[in-house]
Amino acid sequence: MTITEKILAKHCGRKSVEPGELIQCRVDIALANDITAPLAIKEFEKVGAKKVFDRNKIALVPDHFTPNRDARAANQCKILRDFAKKHKITHYYEVGEVGVEHVLLPEKGVVLPGNLIIGADSHTCTYGALGAFSTGVGSTDLAAAMVTGKCWFKVPETIKFVYKGKLNKWVSGKDLILYTIGVIGVDGALYNSMEFTGPVIRKLGMSERMTMCNMAIEAGAKNGIIETDKITLDYVKNRAERSFQPVYGDKKAKYSKVIELDCSKIEPQVAFPHLPENSRPISKVGKITIDQVVIGSCTNGRYEDLAIAAKILKNKKANSSLRLIVIPATQEVYMKAVKNGLLEIFLKSGAALCPPTCGPCLGGHMGVLGDGEVALATTNRNFTGRMGSLKSKVYLCSPAIAAASAIKGRIVSPEEI
């Protein structure tokens, strides 16, 4: 069996499972945010449930429209707050300690190797970087899990992606996943598990691994996953809130496909509107002027992402023709950026600094686009109207490309700075 199949088998109490089987599994963590949790809570109460299955295994993270954008957002968050208080939810994070959920939970040691995690947010697949099976579900499925501690799954087939060669300068995990989605398309891994492996992956740090697994959903995948290794264990050993057991795939595991990619041929990537699959190498981008640059999100809002951007922006100014918005993904990321002088670099460059939030990524607040405006973002989606106006455009890239482009006023490689 593959890693994904073994985790699913373990959590449904069986020795083995096969792709296509319908199984019911116990969950280790059930997650929701300020958009999806109110719907789940409504269904939870509708069935007459009196208590959650385990107050330590539910995470409620109000991160999308917080700090509260308006009265409606405030009421959404109040539903979470009241529910968390009533049921004494351990993993409830209020403004002041909250962060973007998919950066916050690994940071807090809530999601761990070998876990099975569901979240009412499509980018829950991020946690596959820790060797966990994690996937997005609907709010109704989440409500059922909050009552029973279980969820139904169809066992996915697994596509193995083997990354070989040597990374070129400025090429990151974001570039690898954008390139991969460009190769297979936004439905290229539909309801499959994307298993990322190979010598290049084994050298990536946790931040870049999380970026890659985060965008597995942009290829239509059920989940993304990377085998637990020393890098994983070093990351979780001082964070883990409970014991865990890593799960490893068999050497003779069956895959639906094996796709090998030569990383020495991959340049920094830019995904053109209006799909993540529209990725192009930076050398083929042309002259595209931009109105806004956003550095942040659950994809690229970690400290390592900010450090790369700060390195490029140091002693330089953002172009006066655009708005540069920087959003550290959690309070811990924010604090580390303060201590190491990154925020001073951003402020001196002319950037606007925001508190931890999803904000502009989904056209929520703190950077919504108007008609005809063009944004370059380190976020994960560039669908029509994703960041605001239906007449706006969003290009996706890595923090390095974003920072360099903010200086130049158009999409460029750091080599041009």
CATH code for the domain in which residue 398 is found: 3.30.499.10
Q: Are residues 130 and 278 in the same domain?
A: no
Angle at 369 between CA 363 and CA 370, to 5 degrees: 130
50-63 average pLDDT score: 97
CB neighbourhood size of 134 (10 A): 31
What's the chain's average pLDDT? 97
Q: Are residues 340 and 211 in the same domain?
A: no
Q: Pick from 199, 232, 260: which residue ends a domain?
A: 260
Q: Are residues 159 and 98 in the same domain?
A: yes
The owner of tokens 């806004």 is: 292
Give the rounded percent of residues in the chain with a pLDDT score beyond 70.
Answer: 100
Distance CA 129, CA 106 (A): 10
Q: Are residues 20 and 113 in the same domain?
A: yes
pLDDT in tens, 231-245: 999 999 999 999 999
153-163 average pLDDT score: 98
Give the rounded percent of residues in the chain with a pLDDT score beyond 90.
Answer: 99
Distance CA 407, CA 310 (A): 12
pLDDT in tens, 306-352: 999 999 999 999 999 999 999 999 999 999 999 999 999 999 999 99
Is 139 among the domain residues? yes
113-132 average pLDDT score: 98
Q: Are residues 44 and 176 in the same domain?
A: yes
Provide the pLDDT for residue 253. Answer: 96
CB neighbourhood size of 117 (10 A): 26
50-56 average pLDDT score: 96
The owner of tokens 């088998």 is: 9
Is 252 among the domain residues? yes
Is 143 among the domain residues? yes
389: containing domain: 271-416
Distance CA 331, CA 356 (A): 7
Is 332 among the domain residues? yes
Is 298 among the domain residues? yes
Cβ pair 79, 87 in contact under 8 A: no
Q: Pick from 228, 260, 292: which residue ends a domain?
A: 260
Strand-strand pairing, 269-271 and 192-197? unpaired
Provide the pLDDT for residue 327. Answer: 98
Number of domains comprising the chain: 2
pLDDT in tens, 243-285: 999 999 999 999 999 999 999 999 999 999 999 999 999 999 9
Is 177 among the domain residues? yes
> In the Cβ-directed half-sphere of 417, how many Cα atoms lie within 13 Å?
26
Is 330 among the domain residues? yes
Angle at 141 between CA 139 and CA 146, to 5 degrees: 90
pLDDT(417) > 90: no
Q: Which residues pair with 135 in a beta bridge?
A: 118
Enter the tokens of residue 305: 């992402």
Is 265 among the domain residues? no
Q: Pick from 219, 240, 260: which residue ends a domain?
A: 260
Amino acid at 124: T
Q: Are residues 193 and 318 in the same domain?
A: no
Q: Are residues 235 and 288 in the same domain?
A: no
pLDDT in tens, 198-237: 999 999 999 999 999 999 999 999 999 999 999 999 999 9
Q: Are residues 255 and 275 in the same domain?
A: no
Enter the tokens of residue 337: 């950026």
Distance CA 379, CA 294 (A): 8
Q: Are residues 205 and 251 in the same domain?
A: yes
Crossing angle of helices 303-313 and 331-339, in 10° steps, is 40
pLDDT(30) > 90: yes
Q: Which residues pair with 29 in a beta bridge?
A: 117
Q: Are residues 340 and 407 in the same domain?
A: yes
Enter the tokens of residue 400: 């390095």
Burial, 148: exposed, middle or buried (Cβ in 10 Å; 0-12, 13-18, 19+)?
Answer: middle
Q: Are residues 230 and 293 in the same domain?
A: no
Q: Are residues 179 and 84 in the same domain?
A: yes
Distance CA 62, CA 73 (A): 10
pLDDT in tens, 170-191: 999 999 999 999 999 999 999 9
